[in-house]
Amino acid sequence: MTTFSANLSHLANSAANKAMPYPGKLVEIASLEKSRAAFDEISQWPGYQATPLYPLDSIARRIGVRGIFYKDESQRFHLKSFKALGGAFAVARQLKNRILQETGETASIDDLLDKRFQSLVEKIVISCATDGNHGRSVAWGCQLFGCGCVIYIHRDVSVGREQAMEAFGAEVIRIDGNYDASVKQADSDAEIHGRIIVSDTSYAGYMDIPRDVAIGYTVMLAEAVEQMQGAIPTHVFIQAGVGGLAASVCAYFWELWGDRRPRFIVVEPEQANCLQQSAASGKPVAVKGDLETLMAGLSCGEVSLLAWEILEPGADDFMTLSEDAVAPCMRLLASNDPAIEAGESAVAGLAAAIASREDPEMAAKLGLDESSLIFVIGTEGATDPELYQQLVTS
């Protein structure tokens, strides 16, 4: 029985090499050692707890695969998104760096939480551009550690997401342009006002901080590996915007499992497929236009250069998913037992996995069959509650 319809496009990555060990040059970007250090710190934050890993047994039976693991990030630190891990972690790292520069002292996470250096920290202003979830994490981290925060959003970011960031004390500035334009505006204004940019995308001249953001994300992967109790998935379907999350997942599993790592499939919206186009061109390509997509968190036209260093050799396949699959997949999860709250940017990986298995030609291209064990990440919950209700009840 067909679960839902979707248009898919597929590009096999000719640069991928399944047998190649995790390259030593990538350790500077992401490594298990760095991931362990991030876990040790983030697990001390107030309210930390591992998010659930759900086996979607009924959906797996329905599409004819061995199993589906769904890592549910809908309640991470009550921010409803995996981004809570990366943005706030990078904020903490930047505050520690500034404290070291100004005082010569090495601050601990307890020092930040206890406001030991508050007279210095409160003068620091962190800034970023966002589709919503990264900015919410940065704003929350700034509130948690006591520094200032200015967030830039583009014209398509919902009012609900804007208000969520303001609720954490951030000043939110909306620009009349797309996500990439908001990145450039945030960077320009930071130069003028002496702010620290904490971005989840890297570009020429800006590499160090996005590394910290991406390493923060791997906390959920450490949790997931433990929760899978020794099982190694055969396939990972992971949604992508600029590629930071996808690269984190790819690197973590690649170094951990080597040649036993899963087939790694990157999924993007049809209108914002900068990674797929980059793979086709053999170099980073920017997608122009308004990039409009229901999957707002994936509405990105320029590849993170750090992410590309990992994904170019590490991703096996690049796919796009049509908009018509989003709401049905959200409703499918809402009707699951237990019910799972998944926002519109959370479901691209799962929707692509389901649609691929139900398309015999696509299933054959991806090696999907009854023996397949699929891992996906539900990256957000109802980060825009009003839109979520519209989509799951329509």
The two structure tokens encoding residue 56: 């979607």
- Dihedral sign, Cα of residue 229, residue 20, residue 200, residue 117: positive
Burial of 364 (0-12, 13-18, 19+ CB in 10 A): exposed
Which residues carry out catalysis? 83, 131
Which amino acid, one-letter code, is at 355?
A
The answer to whether the CB of 38 falls within 8 A of the CB of 366 is no
What is d(CA 277, CA 272) in angstroms, rounded to the nearest whole number?
Answer: 9
Work out whether strand 53-55 and strand 67-72 pair parallel, antiparallel, or are unpaired: antiparallel
DSSP 130-178: ESSHHHHHHHHHHHHHT-EEEEEE-TTS-HHHHHHHHTTT-EEEE-SS-
Neighbouring CB atoms inside 10 A of 47's CB total: 10
Phi, psi of 36 (to 5 degrees): -65, -40
**Nearest residue to 158 via CA among 379, 382, 394:** 382
The answer to whether the CB of 172 falls within 8 A of the CB of 162 is yes
The two structure tokens encoding residue 228: 């899978």
In 244-347, which residue ranges form alpha helices assigned H by DSSP? 244-257, 274-281, 305-314, 326-334
The two structure tokens encoding residue 37: 């250090």
Phi, psi of 265 (to 5 degrees): -120, 120
What is d(CA 194, CA 126) in angstroms, rounded to the nearest whole number?
Answer: 9
The answer to whether the CB of 127 falls within 8 A of the CB of 149 is yes
48 vs 35, 42, 43, 147, CA distance in Å?
Answer: 16, 7, 6, 21
Q: Which residues pair with 371 in a beta bridge?
A: none
The number of residues making up the chain comes to 394
